[in-house]
Amino acid sequence: MAFHVPRGGLQQMMKKGTRYLEGKEEVVFDSISTIRELGDTTKTAYGPFGMNKIVQNHIEKLFLTSDAATMIKELDIRHPAAKMVVMAAHQQEEECGDGTNGCVMLTASILHEAEYLLRMGLAVPELVSGLQAGLQAGLSEINGLTVHTVDLQQIRDVNAVKYAIKASLMSKQLGNEEFLSNIIAEACVSTLPKDAIRFNVDDIRVCKIMGSNLEASKIIPGMVFKRYVESEIQNVTDAKVAMFNCPLDNLQTETKGTVLLKNAEELKNFTKTEEAQLYNAVKAIAESGAKVLVCGGKISDLGLDYANKMGLMTVRLNSKWDMRRLAKSIGATVLPRLTPPSADEMGFCDKVRVEEIGDTRVVSFQRSTSRIATIVLRAGTTNVLDDLERAVDDGVNNFKLLTKDKRLVAGAGAFEVELAKCLDVHAEKCLGMEQYGIKLLAKAYEYLPRQLAENCGQNPSKVISRLMAAHAEVEGYAQEFSASAQYGIEQKAFNLPGSGAKVPSTQKEIGQMIDSMKRVAQLYGSADMAKAADTFEDGFNMHKSKKLVGSTIGVNIESEDLQDAAKNGIFDHILIKEWQLKLAVNTAITILRVNQIIMAKRAGGPKAPSQRGGHWDDDHDEED
């Protein structure tokens, strides 16, 4: 007889197979270790030179991509703490459509730094309090790091939009960012409504067709469907379009019936009435002025014959979503029955035609004033097409963010280093234990540009040290310039308010000085003051340009030399950075506050032997 050891504590009340973890070592440190492994998986895909991953999901579909959102979505992650990071990444994707990899990496780096402080004896409440203070300090500092804006007038300028979104595409499709940013900007601007905030990312559709290369991709104003028309007519111009969400066929009775036929004449006349009804319905549609008939149901041979006789181009769309989008694109109303449409219920297209792109036949509904645009992507393989589609999706989401907020921050790791410097300065002003949490957050931010340099094949330690020095030295140049004769001459000549106040000695204070001079010049209409402000600003920029220093200096992916991200047009949207900070810090705080993990046994029947290993009769109750 086997010796039986009874389970004690909470486990004795739980069902067999339940996992119970308790204590800092089993819960917090184990969760941090798991999340670090998830971060190590995605970090090598960060930046323009990020590596691709091959992911096979639960239905054995393969994904070849460097997009972190796709990887995390398709991975079957079971660890409860890691699932929280997955949910944070999913929320980042929902809110911004970009920046998921940075969100995961920042969460992992915060927890990695937190583990060291916890092992050194810092209490969890003190660490959480410091992270919350760092979150508030970071959000306030982010607002002062804007380097470029796209206002409501510029958002309708293709070149201005292209300049703003190009960097987001560079991290996905390095070398193709110029072409992609151009077609995405044209498509977004062409569909932008009068109220820019109402722009919908679903208004930009993607049609993937294999063959040729990316340069053969194009924009079609309207909708494109990979299918063939049903009728003999294949091209129509200046067409009115009637849309019906029903079959082009005789209506079937809802109840069963019995028909008694007494002679051959009654048999011959049996279907004539129904045929006449269908003929009259198609004839009425043609007489209403419609040239194209779109049906959401099946098209019978008889109905197709009548449509050909009436000169109607007939297209069948099986998806109700495609019907809705097409109706929105051409301004039509989808009717439930085959009734003659009114002028208001019909849509209009400049062209409806069948095209052969590569070896694929497509039907395009083109309208110059369409509220929907379709980007036809071309590439040699399905994996490349899928990656291009994800890049287009990121570009469109970045345009959507521009309609919400016009501010952009410096990319290439410049924003992260500058924010880390600001958080370090803020931590020095805190006297309590909160400073450890704030410094932890600052150190975690340094991890992102370090990984960017490492993925580019550079020495990360060397690059990050030079980057930190470049961001710190700008204050020295500000102090040197403030003490120069130029500042004293301008201050004395214009008798500026606050002339007896402290001389500005930092880059931020000099920026405030320049802004105040410009505001005074605008308020009083002083051309001399405006000219002095410009001279003052140009003088400082020239002064600090003696060496590559400043808050916009970032990683150069082509060499170990640094670059001015703002001058080279490398930007990230400020909302992406705000959501990364909020989600990463809140997720880390939530995980640090956990002291028990209770996992019930997974529901469902036994798996097949090929999936679980072993034999059907083996006992798998104790499996994790």
For 395-439, the three-class secondary structure string (H helix, E strand, C coil) is HHHHHHHHHHCCEEEECCCHHHHHHHHHHHHHHHHCCCCHHHHHH
For 53-67, the pLDDT digits (tens) are 888 887 888 888 888
pLDDT > 50? residue 359: yes
Can you tell me the distance from the alpha carbon of 166 to that of 175, in angstroms, rounded to the nearest whole number?
11
Q: Pick the residue with more confidence: 596 or 334?
A: 334
Average pLDDT over the chain reads 81
* Rounded alpha-carbon distances, angstroms, from residue 240 to 222, 287, 338, 343, 366: 14, 12, 16, 9, 12
Torsion over CA of 81, 83, 88 and 89, rounded to 10 degrees? 130
Max mean pLDDT range (17-26, 237-246, 479-488): 237-246
- Taking alpha carbons only, the member of 570, 553, 571 closest to residue 562 is 553
Q: Are 4 and 609 in contact (CB under 8 A)?
A: no
Q: Pick the residue with more confidence: 159 or 543?
A: 159
pLDDT > 60? residue 613: no
User: Stretch 345-359: mean pLDDT, rounded?
Assistant: 88
pLDDT of 5 reads 54
pLDDT of 255 reads 65
Q: Are 364 and 228 in contact (CB under 8 A)?
A: no
For 569-588, the pLDDT digits (tens) are 889 999 999 999 999 999 99
Lowest-pLDDT choice from 3-17, 28-42, 273-287, 443-457: 3-17
Q: Are 282 and 303 in contact (CB under 8 A)?
A: yes
Can you tell me the distance from the alpha carbon of 557 to that of 126, in angstroms, rounded to the nearest whole number?
39
pLDDT of 66 reads 83
The H-or-E segment that residue 222 falls in is: strand 218-225
Q: Are 352 and 363 in contact (CB under 8 A)?
A: yes
User: Stretch 274-302: mean pLDDT, rounded?
Assistant: 87
Partners of 288 in beta bridges: none
pLDDT > 80? residue 544: no
For 5-20, the pLDDT digits (tens) are 555 566 666 666 666 6
CATH fourth-level superfamily of 151-211+380-405: TCP-1-like chaperonin intermediate domain (3.30.260.10)
**CATH of 10-146+407-457+569-605 among 3.40.50.720, 3.40.1390.10, 1.10.560.10, 2.60.40.10:** 1.10.560.10
pLDDT > 70? residue 489: no
Nearby residues of 430 by Cβ (< 8 Å), 6 or more positions away: 133, 438
For 74-97, the three-class secondary structure string (H helix, E strand, C coil) is HCCCCCHHHHHHHHHHHHHHHHHC
Q: Are 468 and 417 in contact (CB under 8 A)?
A: yes
Can you tell me the distance from the alpha carbon of 43 to that of 37, in angstroms, rounded to the nearest whole number?
10
- Taking alpha carbons only, the member of 363, 97, 331 closest to residue 209 is 363
DSSP E strand boundaries for 245-330: 292-295, 313-316
Band of pLDDT at residue 479, cut at 50, 70 and 90: low
Band of pLDDT at residue 392, cut at 50, 70 and 90: very high
pLDDT > 90? residue 183: yes
Q: Pick the residue with more confidence: 254 or 88?
A: 88
Please, how many CA atoms are within 13 Å of residue 20, restricted to the half-sphere of its CB? 12
pLDDT > 60? residue 621: no
For 309-378, the three-class secondary structure string (H helix, E strand, C coil) is HCCCEEEECCCHHHHHHHHHHHCCCEECCCCCCCCCCCEEEEEEEEEEECCEEEEEEECCCCCCEEEEEE
pLDDT > 80? residue 1: no
Gyration radius of the chain's alpha carbons: 32
Which CATH architecture group holds 220-379? 3-Layer(bba) Sandwich (3.50)
pLDDT > 50? residue 264: yes
Q: Is 6 exposed, middle or buried (0-12, 13-18, 19+ CB in 10 A)?
A: exposed
Q: Pick the residue with more confidence: 90 or 618?
A: 90
Using DSSP bridges, classify how beta strands 292-295 and 313-316 pair: parallel, antiparallel or unpaired: parallel
Can you tell me the distance from the alpha carbon of 314 to that of 303, in angstroms, rounded to the nearest whole number?
10
pLDDT of 485 reads 47
pLDDT > 70? residue 30: yes
Can you tell me the distance from the alpha carbon of 438 to that of 427, in angstroms, rounded to the nearest whole number?
6
Can you tell me the distance from the alpha carbon of 260 to that of 266, in angstroms, rounded to the nearest whole number?
9
527: left (phi over 0), alpha (psi -120 to 50) or beta: alpha
Q: Pick the residue with more confidence: 501 or 113?
A: 113
pLDDT of 495 reads 44
- Taking alpha carbons only, the member of 289, 284, 335 closest to residue 306 is 284
Lowest-pLDDT choice from 19-23, 468-472, 526-530, 556-560: 19-23
pLDDT of 109 reads 93
pLDDT of 62 reads 84
pLDDT > 60? residue 167: yes
DSSP, collapsed to helix, strand or coil, labels residue 587 as helix
Can you tell me the distance from the alpha carbon of 533 to that of 520, in angstroms, rounded to the nearest whole number?
10
Band of pLDDT at residue 558, cut at 50, 70 and 90: confident
Tokens for 112? 């990695």
Instruction: Please list, residue by residue across 283-308, b when 16 or more beta carbons sit within 10 angstroms of its beta carbon and e when fewer do.
Output: eebbebebbbbbbbeebeebbbebbb
pTM over the 0.85 mark: no
For 108-140, the pLDDT digits (tens) are 999 999 998 888 888 888 999 999 999 999 999
Domain boundaries, the chain: 10-146+407-457+569-605, 151-211+380-405, 220-379, 459-554
Q: Are 322 and 225 in contact (CB under 8 A)?
A: yes
User: Stretch 29-47: mean pLDDT, rounded?
Assistant: 88
Can you tell me the distance from the alpha carbon of 179 to that of 3, in angstroms, rounded to the nearest whole number?
72
Rounded to the nearest 5 percent, the helix, strand and coil shares of the chain are: 50, 15, 35
pLDDT > 50? residue 556: yes
Can you tell me the distance from the alpha carbon of 592 to that of 588, in angstroms, rounded to the nearest whole number?
6
Partners of 376 in beta bridges: 207, 218
Share of the chain above pLDDT 70, in %: 81
pLDDT of 136 reads 92
pLDDT of 459 reads 86
Using the 8-state DSSP alphabet, how is residue 15 labeled? Answer: P
Can you tell me the distance from the alpha carbon of 450 to that of 44, in angstroms, rounded to the nearest whole number?
12
Strand ranges of the sheet holding 571-573, from the earlier edge strand across to the other edge: 146-149, 407-410, 571-573
pLDDT > 80? residue 605: no
Tokens for 293? 């008939």
